[in-house]
Structure 1
Amino acid sequence: MPVSVENKVKKAISNYKTGKIFFPSNFSKFGTSTAVRQALNRLEDNAFLLRLAHGIYLYPKKHPKFGILYPSIEEIAIAISKRDKARIIPTGIQALNKLGLSTQVPMNLVYLTDGSSRSIKVNNGSIKFKKASPKLLSVKSDSIILIIQALKELGKDNISAKDKERIKQVLSTVDKETLSHDVKLAPQWIADIIKELIEL
C-alpha cells in the first residue's frame, strides 16, 4: 500500500527537533502543492503541527510548566529569509535593541530586504519586509548596518553621550578597511557621527 503524503510529511518532520519552523515548500518532493497543503492541514487538525501564520507551521515544543514554547517573531523572520535565500536588515526599535541601545522588544518588526516586499501577521505581532536600497545592501558590515538603522530611529538630535559610547564600542570591532568602505555609504549626518567616534 503506497505511503500517503501526510505520512511522508509527518515522518520527515519527526526527524527534526521540536521547535522547528516548516513551510509547504519543504515538502514539495512528496506531492503536489495541494496534496502537501492538505497534509499539513490534517497534521494541524491532529495537533501534530501548529500554524503560526498562512503557510508557516511549527513542530511544537512543549514545556511541562509553560506549555507550548512559541518562537520569537525574529526567529520566524529569520526562517522566512532562509527559505527565500534573502538578506534581511533589522530596523527601528529592533536595531536599537540588538545594539544594546534599548531594552524594548518590538512586537511588530520591519526588515529591509533584497527579497520580495510583504507583510505577515504572526501571533500578536507582525513582520513587514520592505525593499532595501542597493546602497544599503552594499554595506559590508552587519554592525554598521545596525548602527545606520539605529541612528535613523533615534534621529539626529536625540543621540545621547551614552548612545555614542555604546556605538563607539561596536565600531571598535569593525576592521578599518570595512569601516572606511561602509562609512561612505551611510547618510552624511550618520557618516559624520561615525567619523567623530572613531578615527578613520
Structure 2
Amino acid sequence: MEENISQKVRDRVTRFKKGDLFTVRDFEDLNNDSLVTRTLSRLQNEGIIVRVATGIYMNPIKTQFGVLHPTIDQIAHKIAERDRAQIMPTGDTALNILGFSTQVPMNAVYITNGAKRKVQVGERNIIFKNVVQKNFQFKGKLLPLIIIALKELGENQVTDEIKDKISKLLSESDAEERATMMHDLYLSPVWMKELLLPIIKTVTE
C-alpha cells in the first residue's frame, strides 16, 4: 500500500510542468500526508525536485547556470494557496512587483486573512501580517495592487513615468480584470479615483 502511494507521488511529480510549485496539499487525495512528505523528501535527495521554502517544492528548471528559482511572489502565493488564505503585497513589495521601484526589499511583506508568519527563502523573508477581512473586498488583482502601491508612494510622488506604467499595465489586462476595475476603484481614496478614472475609461471604452 505504502509503495503504491509513493509511486503515485513520483508519477504525479513527473507530470508537473518544469517550474511548477507544489506542496503536500497537492497530494491530499492520497490520504497519507506523512508518506507523501517522506516521498517528497526522498525525491529532493535524489535531485528530482528542489525545496524552495519549508513545505514548498518545485519541479526544477535547470540551466547551464544552475536551477532557475521562482520569484518570492510566486512562492508567497503558493503558500497562500496551500493555506487557503488570501494575500496582498504591501509597501515596497507592491512597488517592486509592479516595476514602480527597482529596490528589492529583503522582507517581502504581505497582508493576509490567514495566519501571521515569517517564511525564510534563501537570504530573504516572506512576512505575512494578519488583517481583518474587510481589507480583501477587492474583486480584481491588478488594480488593487496598483492602489496599494500608490498608497505607499503618496499622492505627491506619483510621476508621469508612474502614470505611464499604470496605463500600460491596465491596457494589457484581460477582460475579467477590466470588469472589476470600477468596483475596485470605488474602494480607493478620492485622489486615486481622480488619478485612475481617466486611465480606466481610456482602457475600457
Task: Calculate the TM-score normalised by the size of structure 2.
Answer: 0.75
Extract unaligned runs of 5+ from structure 2.
Answer: none
CA RMSD of aligned residues (A): 3.2
Specify the alignment match of 2:11 in structure 1. Answer: 11
Distance 1:133 1:21 in 2: 28
Contact 1:119/1:127, CA 8 A, preserved across alignment: yes
Specify the alignment match of 1:51 in structure 2. Answer: 51
Distance 2:179 2:70 in 1: 37
CA displacement at 1:39 relative to structure 2: 1.7
SS at match of 2:127: strand
CA displacement at 1:121 relative to structure 2: 0.9
Higher Cα Rg: structure 1 or 2? 1
Contact 2:111/2:130, CA 8 A, preserved across alignment: yes
CA 1:29–1:162 in 2, change beyond 3 Å: closer, same or farther? closer
CA 1:152–1:2 in 2, change beyond 3 Å: closer, same or farther? closer
CA displacement at 1:156 relative to structure 2: 4.5
Specify the alignment match of 1:153 in structure 2. Answer: 152
CA 1:2–1:105 in 2, change beyond 3 Å: closer, same or farther? closer
CA displacement at 1:171 relative to structure 2: 6.9
Identical positions, percent:
37
Distance 1:154 1:19 in 2: 33
CA displacement at 1:195 relative to structure 2: 1.9
Distance 1:61 1:175 in 2: 33
Specify the alignment match of 2:101 in structure 1. Answer: 102
SS at match of 2:157: coil
CA 1:25–1:175 in 2, change beyond 3 Å: closer, same or farther? closer
> Does residue 42 of structure 2 align to residue 69 of structure 1?
no
Specify the alignment match of 2:79 in structure 1. Answer: 80
CA 1:29–1:197 in 2, change beyond 3 Å: closer, same or farther? closer
CA 1:198–1:37 in 2, change beyond 3 Å: closer, same or farther? closer
CA 1:51–1:169 in 2, change beyond 3 Å: closer, same or farther? closer
SS at match of 2:3: coil
CA displacement at 1:150 relative to structure 2: 1.0
Q: Which amino acid aligns with 2:121?
A: V
> Does residue 162 of structure 2 align to residue 163 of structure 1?
yes
Contact 1:147/1:167, CA 8 A, preserved across alignment: yes
Q: Which amino acid aligns with 1:35?
A: L
CA 1:134–1:191 in 2, change beyond 3 Å: closer, same or farther? farther
Contact 1:136/1:145, CA 8 A, preserved across alignment: no
Task: Calculate the TM-score normalised by the size of structure 1.
Answer: 0.77
Distance 1:5 1:175 in 2: 44
Structural mapping, 1:118-133, within 5 Å: 118-133=117-132
CA displacement at 1:114 relative to structure 2: 3.1
CA displacement at 1:23 relative to structure 2: 0.9
Name segments (4+ residues, structure 1) moved above 6 Å.
171-177
Contact 2:72/2:108, CA 8 A, preserved across alignment: yes
